[in-house]
Amino acid sequence: MPSYRDFHRRSIEDPEAFWREEAKRIHWETPFDTVLDRSNPPFARWFVGGRTNLCHNAVDRHLADRPQQNALIYVSTETGIERRYTYTELHAEINRMAAAMRSLGVKRGDRVLIYLPMIPEAVFAMLACARLGAIHSVVFGGFAAPNLAARIDDAQPVLIVTADAGARGGKVIDYTPLVDEALARATHKPPHVLLIDRQLAPERLNASYLIDYEPLREQFFDAHVPCEWLESSEPSYVLYTSGTTGRPKGVQRDVGGYAVALAASMEYIFEGRPGDTMFTASDIGWVVGHSYIIYAPLLAGLTTVMYEGTPVRPDGGVWWRLVEQHRINLMFTAPTAIRVLKKQDPALLKQSDLSSLRTLFLAGEPLDEPTASWIGDALGKPVVDNYWQTETGWPMLAIQRGVEVLPPKLGSPGMPVYGYDLTLRNEDTGEPCAPGEKGVITLGYPLPPGCMATVWHDDARFVDTYWSSVPNQHVYSTFDWGVQDEGGYVTILGRTDDVINIAGHRLGTREIEEALSSHAAVAEVAVVGVTDALKGQVALAFVVLRDAGGYATDDARSKLEADLVKTVDRQLGAIARPARVHVVAMLPKTRSGKLLRRAIAALAEGRDPGDLPTIEDPVALQQVREALDTPRG
């Protein structure tokens, strides 16, 4: 294996040769004609003319060599259910689901919206879509109805697959009322809703539109549905990610490029080998769940562990017992989860046999040095940070141990990954930054295989959002600040736009602001993300009231804050809930009316907001200071 630097250089200087070799990792029903089509920048098409199928590569291809190896291990500490599926059994379940979908009219190119908790049927549904050539769009189970309705209208699915309920932390979350409200709000009306009945929900609203999956599964128990062979650039899925506006932004992924990129990443980044067991503690609603619970481990012939529950229920040792019980080799989660586990009794970690575990991978938010040091010392195993986005689909910064085992640098996710022409640039000039100089993390054209192809049904938004914000340069902006040292290690410093990262989940502050603005008492609102020791960031809201006189007492203010938080819960879900809502008489703005969110965030974090010659009224900053100093009523 060449050195990291030689490997990376080759991937950038001769991407066609590099990726032609990597494409041998998957099955092509029809060989591709062209490795890379650059004829329409910033769009790039990989493996043009090649026909393949993600489900075939993830499941069918392994039936000859590992039919009785576990493909999927499902564990729910919420219901006490554990199930194992060999590759043969997983193949059969996918065929049953695909046949059921086909009987409801799903065909190649159709969208299927999947609104499910962490249950095996979610895996079956996603891979059944891939088998049929349908485009799945997974929405995080339990997302609020307005959010769900917006995604229904954007994706326009022919089928929704949902469940009666999900469960987290011992609390049952009814899904069917949320689906019912979303369908009432949505303009697009899908013809069918398929229900996975877990017998958890006490009642269902408007149950007449639901089709129970179990009778269909029995009807198609012995079905075999052939794979649709898709051209490499056809869409595989649409996954919505938060942006700086309330309008959904659907990240569109291709088929062939995604399969090749994930298969390569399992060797070069995750050091996964056929027969290994990988536990990714995420959710299928997020990109990590798509890529590293489902597609990548199965593409590489691993066993993947799917977990429904929290890291501390029934106690803080549950994940470590999973490692021992299932002989897990690779584990992947977010720093927030490790910070939660750090607060548990350290004896819980020592009670389990962790000898099978080779590496712990962390991503989703910046990894702080104390957390990295604690878990590294506690496990005595390598801890590999990595950095990426929903848009890229797989890591763009990491220590690529499958290429060369370089020393980690605490606080840094590592160096640019092969295929990514990553440069830090000055936000004002677009010029490359010197080592140690803060800049915007950018990617050169073309993006490597597996990255987003475009925004669903909105090519102009893809160009305007990602390729037009860096002055004098035609490069992709990650909208993240970073700094790169002399050795090439990059440290992430935070967002350049109004997206915040709460426990690994990206949320647009504009979305939270719009939710709060819908409350009758609110005249103006500003939401900022501030550093939090546990979650990475939390949202703080500052509101100006229409009639402050009606909320003069502490009791009235407390009730208002609770009501505003409930408003966000209803519209966006609990993950978007502000940590505090502060009432102020005015918000700091420029003379042109632009909110000075960075100044508000600086005050909230105890930093100097700096010289603000453009501020309209300096008294507004004092208002924010006083609000922050006021204890919760």
What is the Cα–Cα distance from 543 to 192, expressed in whole angstroms? Answer: 42
Q: How far apart are alpha carbons 633 and 630 in whole angstroms?
A: 8
Cα–Cα distance measured from residue 149 to residue 181, given in angstroms and rounded to the nearest whole number: 8
Query: Band of the pLDDT at 597, cuts 50, 70, 90?
Result: confident
Q: In 142-289, which ranges are E strands?
A: 159-163, 165-168, 171-174, 192-196, 210-212, 230-231, 237-241, 249-253, 277-280
Q: Which of 189-193, 242-246, 321-325, 505-509 is predicted least confidently?
A: 242-246
Q: What is the value of pTM for the model shown? A: 0.85
Q: What is the DSSP string of 355-398?
A: TT--EEEE-SSPPPHHHHHHHHHHHTS-EEEEE--TTTSS-SEE
Q: Rounded to whole angstroms, how far apart are CA atoms 298 and 59?
A: 7
User: Do 516 and 564 touch, CB atoms closer than 8 A?
Assistant: yes
| Structure-block tokens of residue 511 | 């979305």
Q: How many other CB atoms are there within 10 angstroms of residue 185's CB atom?
A: 14
Q: For the chain, give me the number of helices (H) and strands (E)? A: 20, 32
* H or E element that contains 303: strand 303-308
Residue 129: burial class (beta carbons within 10 Å; 0-12, 13-18, 19+): buried
DSSP H or E segment with residue 502:
strand 499-502
Residue-wise pLDDT tens digits, 415-442: 999 999 999 999 889 999 999 998 999 9
- Read off the pLDDT of each residue in 484-511 and give the average, rounded to a whole number: 80
pLDDT value at 213 more than 70: yes
Radius of gyration, CA atoms only, the chain? 24
Q: Calculate the alpha carbon distances from 73 to 10, 208, 306 in Å.
A: 38, 33, 6
Report pLDDT digits (tens) over 97-111. 999 999 999 999 999
**Do 59 and 301 form a contact (C-beta atoms < 8 A)?**
no
Residue 158 burial class via C-beta count within 10 angstroms: exposed 0-12, middle 13-18, buried 19 and up:
buried
pLDDT at residue 544 in the model:
87
Which residue has better confidence, 550 or 587?
Answer: 587
- Beta-carbon contacts of 418 under 8 Å, excluding residues fewer than 6 positions away, are 7, 8, 11, 18, 268, 400, 403, 448
Beta bridge partners of 165: 174
The mean-pLDDT minimum among 91-100, 274-283, 513-522 falls in 513-522
From 517, 20, 522, 10, select the one nearest 257 (Cα to Cα).
20
237: left (phi over 0), alpha (psi -120 to 50) or beta: beta
Q: DSSP class of residue 441?
A: E
Q: Residue 85's CB: how many other CB atoms inside 10 A? A: 21
> Can you name the residues that pair with 524 across neighbouring β-strands?
544
610 has pLDDT over 70 = no
Beta strands 192-196 and 210-212 are parallel
The structure tokens listed for 23 are 């494409």
Place of tokens 């689906």: 179
Distance, CA of 58 to CA of 301 (rounded, Å): 8
Give the per-residue pLDDT at 592: 44
Give the number of other Cβ atoms within 10 Å of residue 612's Cβ: 15
Q: Tens of pLDDT along 31-88?
A: 999 999 999 999 999 999 999 999 999 999 999 999 999 999 999 999 999 999 999 9
Half-sphere exposure of 133 (CA within 13 A, CB side): 16
Burial (Cβ within 10 Å: 0-12, 13-18, ≥19) of residue 358: middle
Give the mean model confidence (pLDDT) for residues 451-466.
Answer: 97
Run of H or E including 554: helix 554-572
Q: What is the arrangement of strands in the sheet containing 490-495, beginning at the earlier edge strand? A: 422-425, 439-443, 476-484, 490-495
Predicted confidence band of residue 206 (pLDDT cuts 50, 70, 90):
low
The C-alpha atoms of residue 494 and residue 472 are separated, in whole angstroms, by 23
Q: Is 472 left (phi over 0), alpha (psi -120 to 50) or beta?
A: left
Beta carbons within 10 angstroms of residue 498's beta carbon: 24
DSSP string, 59-104: TGGGTTT-TTSEEEEEEETTT--EEEEEHHHHHHHHHHHHHHHHHT
Taken in order 231, 131, 193, 253, the sign of the CA dihedral is negative
Backbone angles phi, psi at 368, to 5 degrees: -80, 155
Q: Is 180 helix (H, G, I), strand (E, B) or coil?
A: helix
Percent pLDDT > 70 in the chain is: 95
* Tokens read off for 64: 């000859």
Architecture of the domain delimited by 499-629: 2-Layer Sandwich (3.30)
Structure tokens at 244: 């700086």
Task: Supply the pLDDT for residue 201.
Answer: 86
- CA dihedral (314, 85, 227, 95) positive or negative: negative
Answer yes or no: are the C-beta atoms of 178 and 145 closer than 8 Å: yes
Mean pLDDT of 497-511: 72
Q: Find the mean pLDDT for residues 543-554.
A: 81
Structure tokens belonging to residue 246 = 């309330």
The full set of domain ranges for the chain reads 499-629
What average pLDDT does range 543-565 have in this prediction? 86
Q: How far apart are CA 275 and CA 292, in angstroms?
A: 15
- Determine the average pLDDT of the residues in 192-207: 83
The rounded distance, in Å, linking the Cα atoms of 319 and 352 is 9
Report the first-to-last Cα separation within the chain, whole angstroms.
62
Average pLDDT, the chain: 92
Give the separation between CA 315 and CA 326, rounded to whole angstroms.
18
- Spatial CB neighbours of 40, under 8 Å, sequence gap ≥ 6: none
- The pLDDT score that the predictor gives to residue 633 is 58
**Which helix (H) or strand (E) element contains residue 422?**
strand 422-425
pLDDT (tens digit per residue) in 139-171: 988 888 888 999 999 999 999 999 999 998 899
What's the rounded mean pLDDT across residues 463-492?
94
